[in-house]
């Protein structure tokens, strides 16, 4: 028997499988693999309901507002009991919806109070080939081998007083897992070796901005992004009082923007060399609280508050839901349903509309459409552009606070009870 053609066939098959795995779209972080809310899907679904275009629907135990992350045929979600005394992760098969593993990770001896709208599993995991990283704020962080479901390492010593519960999600950067630990007592960023869990660097927020403010105004819940500026990466990271850009390899500060006052949640955005920063709540004396969006030129160093902020807006800016940028326009939806389209260049309002809904989940873009996920299970699909164009409204049962994932022309959406896979 001539084994050479057979060996060549096996080699070709192995190469083919490897290329397929590399080319398969994954969704590795909160708001996608690029942390920008954009999907690569070309044919994502536009219409669905409980009886149409739902491939499967799987009940997920616990109460959690964290988002699904996807790598290959695995979907990972974090979850927790409603009292926070058991924190666990769930692996679901992408194709069938079958739960492959429910993995108990932490059982705290005591738990802190959380805000009534929060959960004990609101931080979204992040995932890469072979490993998923699950974070529960002060209660613990774990690395799990996705091939055999073995826990590789845990950390339970990264502690703070969240006051209202954890929400910031981890991100991967090269060999690092980067976390925000920002409570009423301590505020710092920490980078761990993703393979061992050991600390590589730790950077405290500048305490001169925190020491004279009430503890309630020191906490934050934001997830950072990484951008490239003049050929070098910057870790852009919001705190309660100010936004700071750091060298992601070292934690060294590059620039800062001061804004005050409290509780940044929505992620920052990056587009065409600019960064768009969410200030969190502002509490003017004698006035109504509000949130600002600031456009920042990230090419400066030091305190650039007065020199590198070409515009800011303070009307109908969401505190929780992260906007999305498509073709130089920002689309943002306030928690109470006010939808605004802004110019990235000037902050000028292009159009406004009102949706009779409430929103916590972030805005996503896929297949030429923008997706807005209402709190009561309705998804609004609109066309990006200079006017408001509603394409479809789609209703599911349950509450939606978690930002979905859109991969391979499918929407993986989490409600308070179920995980859905939606496709044409």
Task: Give the pLDDT of residue 280.
Answer: 84
pTM of the model: 0.93
Percent of the chain, pLDDT > 70? 95
Give the residues across from 106 on adjacent strands. 87
How many of the other CB atoms lie within 10 Å of CB of 417? 15
pLDDT for residue 81 is more than 70: yes
Tokens 């500048």 correspond to 206
How many of the other CB atoms lie within 10 Å of CB of 184? 18
Report pLDDT digits (tens) over 359-378.
999 999 999 999 999 999 99
Whether residue 53 contacts residue 47, with contact meaning beta carbons closer than 8 Å, is answered with: yes
User: Please, what's the largest Cα pairwise distance for the chain?
Assistant: 89
Phi, psi of 378 (to 5 degrees): -100, 130
Residue 63 banded pLDDT, cuts 50, 70, 90 = very high
23 or 320: whose pLDDT is higher?
320
Calculate mean pLDDT across residues 178-189. Answer: 96
Six-digit token string for 297: 């030129």
The rounded distance, in Å, linking the Cα atoms of 405 and 412 is: 5
Six-digit token string for 48: 């669905």
Report pLDDT digits (tens) over 113-123.
999 999 999 99
Q: Which of 23-27, 220-224, 283-287 has the highest mean pLDDT?
A: 220-224
Give the residues across from 185 on adjacent strands. none
Query: CATH for 26-423?
Result: 2.130.10.10
Task: Give the pLDDT of residue 217.
Answer: 87
Report pLDDT digits (tens) over 83-98.
999 999 999 999 999 9
Whether residue 183 contacts residue 173, with contact meaning beta carbons closer than 8 Å, is answered with: no
pLDDT for residue 32 is more than 70: yes
Lowest-confidence region among 4-8, 145-149, 265-269, 285-289: 4-8
Lowest-confidence region among 2-6, 52-56, 202-206: 2-6
How many of the other CB atoms lie within 10 Å of CB of 182? 28
Give the residues across from 237 on adjacent strands. 244
Report pLDDT digits (tens) over 377-415.
999 999 999 999 999 999 999 999 999 999 999 999 999
Q: Where are the alpha helices (H) located in 139-297, listed in sequence order?
A: none
Six-digit token string for 270: 């990056």
Whether residue 406 contacts residue 371, with contact meaning beta carbons closer than 8 Å, is answered with: yes
Tokens 């873009």 correspond to 365
């Amino acid at each position: 028997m001539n084994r050479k053609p057979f060996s060549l066939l096996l080699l070709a098959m192995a190469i083919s499988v490897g290329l397929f795995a590399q080319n398969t779209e994954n969704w590795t972080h909160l708001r996608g693999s690029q942390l920008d809310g954009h999907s690569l899907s070309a044919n994502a679904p536009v219409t669905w309901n409980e009886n149409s275009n739902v491939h499967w629907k799987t009940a997920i135990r616990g109460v959690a507002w964290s988002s699904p992350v996807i790598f290959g045929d695995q979907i990972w979600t974090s979850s927790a009991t409603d009292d926070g005394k058991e924190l666990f992760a769930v692996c679901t098969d992408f194709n069938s919806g079958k739960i492959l593993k429910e993995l108990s990770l932490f059982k705290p001896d005591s738990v802190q109070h959380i805000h009534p709208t929060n959960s004990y599993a609101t931080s979204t995991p992040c995932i890469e080939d072979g490993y998923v990283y699950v974070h529960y704020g002060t209660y613990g962080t774990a690395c799990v081998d996705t091939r055999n479901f073995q826990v590789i390492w845990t950390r339970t010593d990264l502690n703070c007083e969240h006051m209202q519960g954890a929400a910031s999600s981890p991100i991967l950067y090269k060999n690092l897992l980067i976390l925000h630990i920002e409570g009423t007592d301590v505020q710092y960023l920490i980078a761990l070796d993703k393979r061992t869990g050991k600390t590589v660097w730790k950077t405290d927020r500048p305490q001169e901005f925190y020491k004279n403010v009430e503890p309630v105004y020191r906490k934050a819940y934001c997830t950072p992004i990484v951008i490239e500026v003049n050929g070098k990466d910057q870790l852009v990271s919001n705190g309660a009082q100010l936004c700071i850009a750091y060298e992601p390899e070292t934690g060294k500060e590059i620039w800062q923007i001061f804004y005050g006052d409290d509780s940044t949640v929505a992620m920052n955005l990056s587009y065409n060399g600019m960064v768009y920063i969410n200030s969190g709540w502002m509490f003017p004396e004698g006035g109504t609280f509000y949130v600002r969006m600031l456009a920042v030129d990230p090419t400066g160093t030091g305190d650039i508050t007065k020199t590198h902020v070409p515009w800011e807006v303070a009307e109908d800016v969401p505190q929780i839901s992260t906007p999305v940028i498509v073709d130089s326009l920002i689309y943002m939806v306030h928690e109470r349903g006010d939808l605004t389209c802004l110019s990235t260049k000037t902050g000028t309002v292009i159009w406004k509309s009102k949706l009779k809904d409430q929103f916590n989940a972030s805005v996503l873009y896929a297949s030429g459409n923008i997706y807005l996920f209402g709190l009561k299970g309705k998804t609004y699909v609109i066309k990006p552009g200079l006017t408001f164009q509603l394409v479809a409204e789609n209703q599911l049962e349950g509450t939606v606070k978690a930002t979905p994932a859109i991969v391979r022309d499918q929407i993986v959406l989490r409600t308070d009870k179920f995980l859905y896979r939606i496709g044409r």
